[in-house]
Each structure stands twice: as structure tokens, then as C-alpha cells.
Structure 1
Amino acid sequence: MPDIETEAPAIFRGMLRDVVACSDYTEVCRLLGLVPAGPDVDEIEHYQSHVRIEEFMPVAQEALSHADVAANVLYRLTRLGEGDEEGDERARAMFLFVTRTACSAVIAHLLQNGTLEIGDES
């Protein structure tokens, strides 16, 4: 298990890199008040993000379908007692986006650090 105290900034940057488009990363860092890594570290982190996403791809379809179910569960739980079956489509879309993004990033990081492995499908 990572030492969250010392690895949190690197994990945060990695997660941010995984969920933000490559072309927007530096601007998003600036908007969040973060100082992007220097060019050498930035290049390595950028590459590692692409590797993580590639490692995630074999399980992406199943993981994202489960994330969609989780988003629906969470959305419905937040609307308990409101009686509006149709609900707010914008809020529903935000739950879907956040849940898919979080699941993808977490699974990709767990695969990269070896905590999670994709099993043999045979």
C-alpha cells in the first residue's frame, strides 16, 4: 500500500493527468493553483498516464458498465424522497461522468502499481 502522506502529490498529479485531456493539463494545473512538473518529469508523467490508460483498456468496457450502475445508484440515493422520477438530466450526466472518471483512474492506478492484475480469461 502506498504511503499516502508522501505519495499523495504524485498520485494527485497522476490522477489529474489521467482525467484531463493532455492538451489541457498545464492550463488545468494553473487553474487549480498547482505548479506543473518540470519538462523532464512532465514528459515521464505524461508517458506513464498513457501506459496506465492502455493497461486499463482490456477491462474498460466491463468497468465502465459497472461505473454506470454505480452512478445510477448514487444519483437515486441523492434524490430519495424527492418524488421526481425523471429527475435532473444534467445531474444524472454529472454522476455518470464523475463515476466513470473516478473508476477508470483508480483501476488504472491499481493496475500500474500491481495492486490489481487482469486475470487470464481462458
Structure 2
Amino acid sequence: FEQVYRDFEMQKVCYLPLTSFILKPLHRLHHYHLLLDRIVKHYGSANHHDYRECMTAKAKFSQALKAIAPALAHSENFVKLIELQRDLIGIDNLVQPGREFLREGCLQKLSRKGYQQRMFFL
């Protein structure tokens, strides 16, 4: 998978990383829901002839977003693990079923030479 991933990103017609293609459709649904919220606020009341249809569409999008929320979280986790595996040298089996990325950050280790910055990943 890693080789296919790198080959895809090295193509001249590919201007975005593969991870953006994985997450974009799921994020787009959330964006559509926000647009429907703005449209409903713009109409303001039930007197407008499109208000009822917009409320129906908003309710359906809310149901769809609740259904895909676990898939979105899983996809974001998968993308983060792929990016870490690509960036870290010597770690080839980071992406495994059941493995979850929690957090990353910087720590400072105190040594004889003073503080040394280290990255950590949970």
C-alpha cells in the first residue's frame, strides 16, 4: 500500500496528497449541512415557500451526519497514521487494524547538556 500511495502522490497530475481525497467527501457533507443552516436562517420563518423543504433536507443531512460520524473519525485516524508512517524513518508497520492515534506533541528531556526537545505520539 505504501508504494501505491507514494506512486500516486509523485504523479505530475496529482497536486494534492492522497489523504485529501479520502477525507474530502465526508467533510463536504458537513459543509452542506452548514449551508442548509444558513439558508434556513435566511428564510427566517415558515412563511417562505421553500422553508419546509429546507427543514426536511436539514433533518436528513443531520441523520446522515450522525451515521457517518464514526466513519469520519476512523478515516481521520487512518490518514494521521499514514502520514506518521510516511514521515517517521524506520517505522513500517504503524498502520494496523485497531490502532488509534490519540495525540502528538513536544516534550523536553533534561540531560547533562540541558533540555532537548522530543516529539511524542500517543
The reply to whether TM is greater than 0.5 is no
Larger Rg: 2
Higher helix share: 1
Higher strand share: 2
Query: Which fold has the larger relative contact order, with Cα–Cα distance below 8 Å and residues 6 or more apart in sequence?
Result: 1
TM-score computed with the length of structure 2 as normaliser: 0.30
